[in-house]
Structure 1
Amino acid sequence: MVGTKENHAKTATNFFINLLIDKYKLSTDYQVAKFLGVNTCQISNYRYGRREFSDTNCLFIAEKLEYPKQIVLLSVWASREKNPEIRKVYKQLLDDYNA
């Protein structure tokens, strides 16, 4: 069974994983991993904020969720960026895109 959302890191990757779970009725991390073409260890790394999606994964997720690629990429870039000033730029670009 997929862990409770309260246990997961608040990242863009988890946000998009949860959207995939809802849209495709996935019920286990194994199913999520299989859907994304990664192993369950990678899903655990996503869930606990140790890793974020690669840019290639972002494009795949955008296609599967029928989301604009720019939104998925900018969201994940902002989430994984450690420098607050750069993160702010990504978030501003995301806000501008959504305006």
Structure 2
Amino acid sequence: METKKLHICKLEATQEWLCLDARAYIAECLEACVTVEMLADLREIFPRQALTVASVQVCELQRKRIQRWLKEQNGEVHDLGESSQVLQSAMDTSLGQCSS
């Protein structure tokens, strides 16, 4: 697995980031994530607190997928192994169950 330095947004979440419209937009972006790389891009763009607040609006299945990707990005997962691949496959096929 290739290691790449993550660029994480260092901005503090201001009221503009935490307003309802911004949270809804960020939640839409999180729902649209289909790869770990897309999540890395969002972490580079949006303040951490804004992502956290918006994530509660994301469907449970997508939230679990994002949590797994975050562990990967933070180096908490060293070997994805077969069980993770099976989980990913199951999540991919049932992602359509998430509705906005």
Q: TM-score, normalised by structure 1?
A: 0.37
Q: TM-score, normalised by structure 2?
A: 0.36
- Highest Rg: 1 or 2? 2
